[in-house]
A = this chain, B = another copy of it.
Amino acid sequence: GDGRMGVRYDGQTATTDNEWNFNSRARVKFTLSGQTDGGLEFGGSFRADQAGDSAASNGAAYGLEGSVYVSGAFGKVEMGDVVGASEALFGDFYEVGYSDLTTIGGFSNDIPYLTGDNGGFSVANQVVTTIGTGTTAVTTTVAGAYTSGPNLLYTGTFGAFSVAASMSDGKNKGADAGQEYAIAGAYTFGNYTVGMGYEVADGDFVDVDMLTLAGVAKFGNTSVKAAVSQLGKDADANWYGLGVSSVFGATTVGGYVQKLDDKSAADADVTWWGIGAEYDLGGGAVVKGGIADDDLSGTDAVADLGIKFSF
């Protein structure tokens, strides 16, 4: 399990006045595993707050949270609330703040992958509805039926090569939902890893694909991750991200900066960043804090300081 307690500055906007808040949590994780007579390993994991509700038919009991897996020499096949292929190989940036800070605009250390649980630029699943015509037309864009039940992820490592493939089943309770699929590959030599991922979100209204190049380098106690993506089909944008983390004894510092360069007529560019530090108290307790912000107008930075526990 894990826990945390501390204070967080949630910033202000034109309509909210969150300022300083207490923020705490306690969670328990269930980890299940077994092995067949033939040597296949299998298992699953989910948290108590992801268990779901047997009356509401949701959560890990219905494959919508947590995941199960079978693994062997062939690699690992997972089903449930899994990440997409690109995220499986390249991950995200250093998590800033004891409470995993998200800016008021909704951006964090997560890389905005197109598919899987992050579901970054989930434009493909937006439902665009236009009512009326001409000057009286009203166009509404809402998030579409994105969660199409359990997704599938395959990952395998063969020598210096790692590969991943993922897909959704494209169904959501009997209706077509945005079909996702993704493949990714990475090559590791010494302290360097380079890789490429290609994701497609084939939505009901728009289709988007995303090609991501990523590289990770380790210099002593410092790890640098850089990535760049091109979004195409019905989207037209580029994304750039750079993250660093360094360990000095019991202290770790890290940060990231990410930019979405919107090439479409909307030109909705946004840059966001975060920087934080943590000090290991031993025994599973860490003092951690950070600050994060985006350059959207009318939004403060957010910041926090607290203690994280792992049990």
Q: Which residues of A contact B (CB under 8 A)?
A: 1, 3-5, 10, 15-28, 30, 32-38, 40, 42-55, 58-63, 65-70, 77, 79-80, 149-152, 168-169, 171, 174-176, 281-285, 307, 309-311
Contacts and interface: CB of A to CB of B under 8 A. Distances in A.
A26 B51 CA distance: 8
A115 to B, nearest CB: 14
A29 to B, nearest CB: 10
Nearest to A27: B61
Contacts of A38: 281-282
A77 B34 CA distance: 34
Nearest to A287: B36
Contacts of A50: 54
A49 B53 contact: yes
A173 to B, nearest CB: 8
A171 B18 contact: yes
A131 to B, nearest CB: 23
Contacts of A22: 63, 79, 149-152, 168-169
A283 B36 CA distance: 5
14 contacts: A17-B175, A21-B169, A22-B149, A24-B68, A25-B60, A26-B32, A26-B44, A28-B32, A37-B283, A42-B283, A47-B51, A49-B52, A49-B61, A54-B59
